[in-house]
Structures are given as C-alpha cells and as structure tokens.
Amino acid sequence: MSPDKVLIGLGIAEEAALLLLLAWRLAFKKQPAFFAWILWSLGTDLATTLIGQSNIAFQISEAQIALDSLFIFAVLVETTWSVLRPLHSLLPRRSWLIIVGIITIVGAILWPFARLTLPANLNHDGALFFQMQQTFAFLRVIYFVLLAASSQPLAMNWRNRELQIASGMGIYSLVSLAVNVLHLHQTVGPTYHLLDLVAVTSYLGSLAYWVLAFAEKEQERQDFSPQIANVLLFLGGVTQRDRQALNQLLAARTNRDRTT
C-alpha cells in the first residue's frame, strides 16, 4: 500500500475518532462550528476516497477548499467568542460582530501577501483557490501566536479548549505554509511530493492532538483580571458603570477564594 493511501486512511480514522469524542463531549453545543468543520472534513475525505481520481473528485476538492475557508472563519469567530466566555453576561449580544469585523480586516490585509506564495503554473481559478487557502493558513498561524502569547492575561492554559483548538490549527498551518514556500524553489520530483506528505502528516498530528485533548475533561475557565476585563469590556462598548460592577464582583470572588 502506498504512503498516500496509508495517510488518507489514517486521517479518516482520526477524523472519525475525533468526531465521536466531540459528540460524546457534547461539543456541538459549545463548539458547533468546530464540530461541523470536522464532520465536513470527514465527509469530503470519504467522498474523494470512494470516487478516486476523476473530474468529480477535482470539483469536490475545489468545493472543499472554499467551504473549508468558511468553516475556519466560523471556527476562529467561535473560538474568540468562547475566549470571552467569562464576560458574556456583561457584553452586548452583538459583540461577536466586532470579532467578525476584526478577523475580516486581518484576512483582507493578509490576502495580497498570500499571493506571494502562489506557484507559477496555476490557472486563474486554481490561483484564486490557492490564495484563499494560503490566506486562511496565515490567519490561523497569527491567531494561534496571538492567543498563545496572551494566554496568561486571559486566564487560559493548555487544558482549555480554546487554546487546544487554536494550537492544533496553528501548528499544521505553519507546516503547510513552510512546505508551500519551499515548493516555490523546487522542481517537480520525488522530493516535491515528500514535502506534501510532511504537510499531511502535520495535519494528522493535529488530529491526534485534538483526540487526546478532547479525551480529557475540560478545565474550568478562571476569571479575567480586572485590568484585562476592563479593556475587553471597553472594546465591547460596555459602560463604565458596568465595568465598576465587574471590578466589585471580581474583588469579592478574590476575597472569598482567599478565605476558603
């Protein structure tokens, strides 16, 4: 059996295992976009494997790239909103639209930079799909770095779902970007495809990481510090009175924790 078929089979098995774990953990309630993305990935992988090499399989691959981008965008918005979970009761209902706007703006800024990694032999449609894929790869890497760097002030650690999802997406996206950049300086040959296998393996590693992460019970999130909470509430348009009320609530919880 060829290495390609082994990796495809392993990927389908890992996606199926992760999907079962997500269903068991009721993740479709807390992380519906992430659950839907894994379900979509499993479905398209099964479909392309059963169909084999054909025009239909190529059309499915194009649709997968486009819909993958939409799913990933939704996962980033969902994860960011989940990071702000301790403040949901104080934030306006439509605060998630601010998150949508910020991610859209960052994606628009990254769009022309993603074009620098395009292979020269692509047609117009292929270049468009590839540029879209690269833009979201850049976006995932930047998102992971920013979230990991701010994990301490956001009262997060590596056992929180938000950071687990972001780290898995960021790691395989970083490897994929590195592979695509190396491809620009290569000619098609055995080494060229070997790098593709490295990119696929990084995705399988992320799937394995998510399986292990969701196999464990999620750690309860802690409250933000008053300083960080005030900044986030200010960005969300919450009034000064509400921020003062939050400070009093956090101070009361801190005193209670010290006395227990």
pLDDT grade for 235, boundaries at 50, 70 and 90:
low
- Mean pLDDT over the full length of the chain: 82
Please check whether residue 155 is in contact with residue 147, taking contact to mean a CB–CB distance below 8 angstroms. Answer: no
Which residues lie closer than 8 Å to 75 by C-beta, 6 or more apart? 31, 33, 34, 37, 165, 169
Q: In this predicted model, what pLDDT tens digit does every residue of 43-81 receive, in sequence order?
A: 988 887 887 665 665 666 667 778 888 999 999 999 999
Residue 150 has pLDDT above 90, yes or no: no
pTM: 0.83
Amino acid at 197: L
- Decide: residue 214, CB within 10 A, 0-12 exposed, 13-18 middle, 19+ buried: buried
**CA-closest candidate to residue 223, choices 259, 243, 244, 251:** 251
- Pick 245 or 203 by higher pLDDT: 203
Radius of gyration of the chain (CA): 21
